[in-house]
């Protein structure tokens, strides 16, 4: 009842012109007709972002490493009436990156948005125990592949006259998560990568920004919150009142990809429930 | 024609339930039924923010120091069909701050949102020429009055179960604008004030964030862009490709005040077209 | 015995020329013949800085608000064979600031170094309880007076061909200390003031830097560590293993004032035992 | 003559005890008896740091990739009466890292200080032209090898009861140098690595800090300043009045390694002549 009332109190007048309606539609669907790639988007924060971009009007191509996960996620979002397709993509492989872009171009004629969310499974332990192999894998997937995925998508964005990239880093870029050294360092690098890409791609009308989520309840962060004692200690340490939900990271990404963010580039937005980050 | 086509391509199905409709309305009007105070909002960035909050569904109380300016701004926004009223408010005066809050409570039953945009006219010159009086005025209006305006509004936000504050600082908080020392310093202080307020007000379900606009074309910044040579020099110095528009600062403020930003608090978002800011 | 051994093992060869000796003296006394003003230097961090500057060769003029405290501190440092004098100075008063500078000029012919350490007694409580008077006092003493003290000393530095200013802020500039809102905000402002002064005074060959101490054991911070439970909670919250000593803040200040720091200006150095600060 | 006068005016009294003398020696030679490894130290900033650490009393093991360069640098510094030896070390190779540490242990019984300065030759060009191979090389040498070099040295520091690590990053970590994307990103990562290492190694009494030099005149940065037009443009862009000298980076590193910096860990000090960096 209350919701119906809410609706009625905002019922727009009947005389609205086509122009007003289209302006309203633009506001309701700020990403209408945009084509978006989201990596690592069959679960957690990536999935929430993919759904939100689609809810906001985008055609979304989701992806991750396993066909089964892609199929499930696509089925779920299509079941919600959203324009979503998917393809397997291991961002560390050049062929996969190319195929992901090609899929979007073939299906939707181009690419406007890239959300780079893929990250290697984090190594949990002391920095003094980290081997060359661990560093290689984490820097490869989290830093190098992010740069190369962006590189792969830029030519098609340029053909569309511009675009928007959002890189998913982490609060840990600023305030290290204990026991996750290489992950933290790779995320700090992404904040720098964002600045560098933004500066270089401005001339092509491509904006590049970064999301730094705090402690969000996902499978990825399970090790941080599964053990109640550890969860409590992390929450105290980081002044966190509650753990965030993946959906709470999705709105800002859609915003950063929209025309509303036309003068925002090179910036990182921290979504961490007030945990200490930076000035 | 194109716009009508755009509309049709997104025409929602006819069978939508009341619940879906209300959810869509919530998305279309993310600030529906919210009551927002915006200081220094009869011109420039403040005006653009007030308009956007109203377009997004809020009842907005605009204010500034001169009745005539308030009247003009209210008339313009009401002419656009927006729910806007106004009152004179010099934020440096306790009585004015109280009256501004009282106006909102009387008209709309409470306050949900405060956008604190008021700033003293900047002193332009060398720091070595700044007098006690200049420091007093700028720290009074830009820092102290922002804290006290927030203090004035918190009890009424608390009665509503929570709220959202956005403080307007400046890129100059991070990268000083040459010749505007006390202004710059006061804006740096606001970034700190945001962190402090966010931390304290979290327990009352009030989020506090900050906007740091770069070089935006307003009367306030006229001295920075009016002279073509200076504009060129500033743009080069700050890697700015174009000067921003007030509207480009408004979307992010509305976003930060909305439910979509429920896990964002204590943060500053820089809107500066890629100018150097911070990691 | 061990110490004698240490000495012997470094005993410089006998043939050293005057030039080598003078170079060694410059290294041993990096501030030789420099004249330094240190405000709020009869106790705590300011006192440790004053002592260190004198140990490093400077003629130091110490100061604080009470004659008795000045007399005691001067007596103690003179008793250590250091070149120290003192004068009463309330940095919030223009006459006092002028007199402090005049004292140095009269005694030593000029001023080369200013360490601005004065701060108002912090207000301890919630930001929502802070009155106009508290804000006025804290912004006046911590921000405005720092700017004006610098302004007072610059002409005499310029006469000497340059100089060095160090402003004492706090870790709280970056990571707010709970319950110390206005203090924290004023310290954030000082980080900005440092940047602004450094930029403007570079043309006069004056470098301006900033010290941001963490939790240091002084009378000033007594409220933070006196209560054992609170001390424990602060230490946990800030990842602090031990509370710092005033002397641990002094070396970096002397360094920043020395020729060794000739290419460092506008920077803040955090001395906080590894507590979270910033990237 | 003037220098002799300077010396005389500071001539210490004759009655000084052994304890006072040893205290003075500690001040004159703050790194007395410390053993320091410096990578990439046969030229530029690394060489200046190695020389300074030795001048301040340390036994220094210098290293770089070519035997000839090592020989020349060792000869020069030994010719100045400094305690310096050298060995070839390619920090990207595990065997080389181990041999470097073993050399110090064999010659001097342990390691107290590591200055990690090695960096891959930077790729100059657009990020969109960077290949996998370039990313691999730069992340390998600049980030991974820095972490692994630290890992290699920690056990021997621990045996000595603690130690100090200084990582050489760059101003470009905060403010990207145009055309040097992967270099910039790797340097941002090092600022994060510093924080992470500092946090983990505190329990072993090892402090980890970071140096971020601005534009310093070295062979490494030749491409940035060799072309006069480019030099001018960079200097304007970065508000740089003059290019720094390697020696101007050395004092702060010695300071950070000394007992005077006992409460400084996890911090980055920017040495950039006032160029825009961060708050």
Q: Are D262 and D199 in contact (CB under 8 A)?
A: no
- Which residue among D143, D185, D200 sits closest to A196, beta carbon to beta carbon? D185
- Which residue among A188, A191, A279 sits closest to C188, beta carbon to beta carbon? A279
Q: Are C226 and C180 in contact (CB under 8 A)?
A: no
The mean of the pLDDT values for chain B is: 91
Yes or no, beta carbons of D143 and A188 under 8 Å apart: no
At residue C22 the predicted structure's pLDDT band, cuts being 50, 70 and 90, is: low
A172, pLDDT greater than 50? yes
Residue-level pLDDT at B128:
97
- Please tell me if residue A174 touches chain C, with a CB cutoff of 8 Å: yes
By the 10 Å C-beta count (0-12 exposed, 13-18 middle, 19+ buried), A223 is classed as middle
Mutation choice for A interface testing from B17, B56, B247, B264 by most A CBs within 10 A: B264
Q: How many whole angstroms separate alpha carbon C70 and alpha carbon C84? A: 11
Q: How many whole angstroms separate alpha carbon B148 and alpha carbon B167? A: 12
Chain A residues closer than 8 Å to B278 by CB: 278-279
**Cα C267–chain centre separation:** 14
Buried b (16+ CB within 10 A) or exposed e, C17-53: eeeebbeebbbbbbbbebbbbbbbbbbbbbbbbbbbb
Report phi then psi at C87, rounded to 5. -155, 150
- CA-based Rg of chain B, rounded to a whole angstrom? 19
At residue C231 the predicted structure's pLDDT band, cuts being 50, 70 and 90, is: confident
A17, pLDDT greater than 60? no
- Please tell me if residue D233 touches chain C, with a CB cutoff of 8 Å: no
D11, pLDDT greater than 50? no
- Take residue A81 and report the two structure tokens written for it: 């009436």
Can you state the percent helix, strand and coil of chain C, rounding each to 5? 50, 15, 35
Beta bridge partners of C62: C38, C86
D239, pLDDT greater than 80? no
Write down the H helix ranges in chain B.
2-9, 18-28, 44-55, 67-79, 94-108, 132-138, 145-159, 181-201, 222-225, 228-237, 247-257
pLDDT cut 90: percent of chain B above it: 81
Chain B residues closer than 8 Å to A248 by CB: 260, 262-264
The total of other beta-carbon atoms located within 10 Å of residue A220's CB is 18
Q: How many whole angstroms separate alpha carbon B121 and alpha carbon C226? A: 44
Residue-level pLDDT at C75:
98
Q: What architecture is domain C31-271?
A: 3-Layer(aba) Sandwich (3.40)
- Please tell me if residue C24 touches chain D, with a CB cutoff of 8 Å: yes
Query: How far away is chain C from the Cα of B170, in angstroms, using its nearest Cα?
Result: 12
Residue D81 region, left (φ>0) first, then alpha (ψ -120 to 50), else beta?
left
Query: How far away is chain B from the Cα of A24, in angstroms, using its nearest Cα?
Result: 8
| pLDDT tens digits, D49-89 | 999 999 999 999 999 999 999 999 999 999 999 999 999 99
User: Nearest to residue C153, comparing CAs of C192, C111, C115, C108?
Assistant: C111
Average pLDDT, integer, range D176-196: 96
Residue-level pLDDT at C26:
79
- Please tell me if residue C16 touches chain A, with a CB cutoff of 8 Å: no
Average pLDDT, integer, range C9-32: 64
Yes or no, beta carbons of D175 and B237 under 8 Å apart: no
- Please tell me if residue B176 touches chain C, with a CB cutoff of 8 Å: yes
Chain D residues closer than 8 Å to B236 by CB: 236-237
- Please tell me if residue D197 touches chain A, with a CB cutoff of 8 Å: yes
Residue-level pLDDT at D2:
37
A253, pLDDT greater than 70? yes
- Which residue among B94, B185, B197 sits closest to C189, beta carbon to beta carbon? B185
Sorted by where each begins, the domain ranges of chain C are: 31-271
Q: Which CATH superfamily is domain D31-213+245-271 in?
A: NAD(P)-binding Rossmann-like Domain (3.40.50.720)
Query: How far away is chain A from the Cα of C46, in angstroms, using its nearest Cα?
Result: 26
Q: Which chains touch B (3 or more CB pairs under 8 A)?
A: A, C, D
- Least confident range of A91-100, B202-211, C1-10: C1-10
Buried b (16+ CB within 10 A) or exposed e, B129-151: ebeeebbbbbbbbbbbbbbbbbb
pLDDT cut 70: percent of chain C above it: 92
Report phi then psi at A180, rounded to 5. -125, 40
Residue-level pLDDT at B21:
59
Residue-level pLDDT at A15:
45
Q: Which residues, 6+ apart, have CB-to-CB distance to D125 below 8 Å? A: D179
Sheet of strand C163-168, all strands in order from the earlier edge strand to the far edge: C84-88, C59-64, C35-38, C113-116, C163-168, C206-213, C268-271
A18, pLDDT greater than 80? no
Residue-level pLDDT at C228:
84
Residue-level pLDDT at C54:
98
Average pLDDT, integer, range A197-220: 95
| pLDDT tens digits, D147-162 | 999 999 999 999 999 9
User: Nearest to residue B196, comparing CAs of D192, C168, A178, C189?
Assistant: C189
At residue A221 the predicted structure's pLDDT band, cuts being 50, 70 and 90, is: confident
By the 10 Å C-beta count (0-12 exposed, 13-18 middle, 19+ buried), A102 is classed as middle
Cα distance from N-terminal residue to C-terminal residue, chain A:
44
At residue A21 the predicted structure's pLDDT band, cuts being 50, 70 and 90, is: low
| pLDDT tens digits, C241-271 | 889 999 999 999 999 999 999 999 999 999 9
Yes or no, beta carbons of D252 and C239 under 8 Å apart: no
- The angle subtended at Cα C53 by Cα C52 and Cα C58, nearest 5°, is 140
Residue-level pLDDT at C4:
36
- The H or E element containing residue C268 is strand C268-271
At residue D223 the predicted structure's pLDDT band, cuts being 50, 70 and 90, is: confident
Average pLDDT, integer, range D263-278: 96
C6, pLDDT greater than 50? no
B8, pLDDT greater than 80? no
At residue B38 the predicted structure's pLDDT band, cuts being 50, 70 and 90, is: very high
Q: How far is CA B9 from CA A36, B13, D243, in A?
A: 18, 11, 59
Sheet of strand A59-64, all strands in order from the earlier edge strand to the far edge: A84-88, A59-64, A35-38, A113-116, A163-168, A206-213, A268-271
Chain B residues closer than 8 Å to C197 by CB: 127, 181
Question: Length of chain A in residues, anyone?
Answer: 279
Residue-level pLDDT at B246:
98
Average pLDDT, integer, range C215-224: 86
B10, pLDDT greater than 50? no
At residue D233 the predicted structure's pLDDT band, cuts being 50, 70 and 90, is: confident
The mean of the pLDDT values for chain A is: 91
| pLDDT tens digits, C46-82 | 999 999 999 999 999 999 999 999 999 999 999 999 9
Yes or no, beta carbons of A151 and D128 under 8 Å apart: yes
User: Nearest to residue A261, comparing CAs of D151, B255, D55, C177?
Assistant: B255
Yes or no, beta carbons of C278 and A278 under 8 Å apart: yes
Angle between helices A247-257 and A44-55 (to 10 degrees): 50
Q: How many whole angstroms separate alpha carbon D24 and alpha carbon C227? A: 38
Which active-site residues of D does the annotation give?
A: 183
Residue-level pLDDT at D6:
36
Tell me the CB-side half-sphere exposure of residue A97, using CA atoms within 13 A. 21
User: How many residue contacts between B and C have a Cβ separation below 8 Å?
Assistant: 106
| pLDDT tens digits, A80-102 | 999 999 999 999 999 999 999 99
- Which residue among A236, A276, A278 sits closest to C279, beta carbon to beta carbon? A278
- Please tell me if residue D204 touches chain B, with a CB cutoff of 8 Å: no
| pLDDT tens digits, B117-174 | 999 999 999 999 999 999 999 999 999 999 999 999 999 999 999 999 999 999 999 9
Tokens 């759904």 belong to which residue? A51
At residue D12 the predicted structure's pLDDT band, cuts being 50, 70 and 90, is: very low
Average pLDDT, integer, range A156-178: 97
Residue-level pLDDT at A22:
67
- The H or E element containing residue D179 is none
- Which residue among A127, A178, A192 sits closest to D184, beta carbon to beta carbon? A192
CATH of A31-215+244-271, one of 2.50.20.10, 3.40.50.720, 3.40.50.1820, 3.40.50.300: 3.40.50.720
- Please tell me if residue B236 touches chain D, with a CB cutoff of 8 Å: yes
Q: Are A185 and A242 in contact (CB under 8 A)?
A: no
């Amino acid at each position: 009842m209350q919701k119906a009332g809410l609706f009625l109190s905002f019922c727009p007048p009947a005389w609205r012109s086509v122009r007003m309606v289209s302006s309203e539609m633009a506001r309701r669907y700020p990403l209408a007709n945009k084509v978006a790639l989201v990596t690592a988007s069959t679960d957690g924060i990536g999935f929430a972002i993919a759904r939100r971009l689609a809810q906001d009007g985008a055609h979304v191509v989701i992806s991750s490493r396993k066909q089964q996960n892609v199929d499930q996620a696509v089925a779920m979002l299509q079941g919600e009436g959203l324009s979503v397709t998917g393809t397997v993509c291991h961002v560390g492989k050049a062929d996969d990156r190319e195929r992901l872009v090609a899929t979007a171009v073939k299906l939707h004629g181009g690419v406007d948005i890239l959300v780079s969310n893929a990250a290697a499974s984090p190594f949990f332990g002391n920095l003094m125990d980290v081997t060359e192999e661990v560093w290689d894998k984490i820097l490869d997937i989290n830093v190098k592949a992010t740069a190369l995925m962006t590189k792969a998508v830029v030519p098609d964005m340029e053909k569309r006259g511009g675009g928007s990239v959002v890189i998913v880093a982490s609060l840990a870029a600023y305030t290290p998560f204990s026991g996750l050294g290489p992950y933290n360092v790779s995320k700090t690098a992404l904040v720098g990568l964002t600045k560098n890409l933004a500066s270089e791609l401005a001339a092509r009308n491509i904006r590049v920004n970064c999301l730094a989520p705090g402690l969000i309840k996902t499978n990825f962060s399970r090790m941080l919150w599964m053990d109640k004692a550890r969860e409590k200690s992390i929450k105290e340490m980081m002044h966190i009142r509650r753990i965030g939900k993946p959906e709470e990271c999705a709105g800002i990404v859609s915003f950063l990809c929209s025309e509303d963010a036309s003068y925002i580039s090179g910036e990182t937005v921290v979504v961490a429930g007030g945990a200490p980050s930076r000035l």
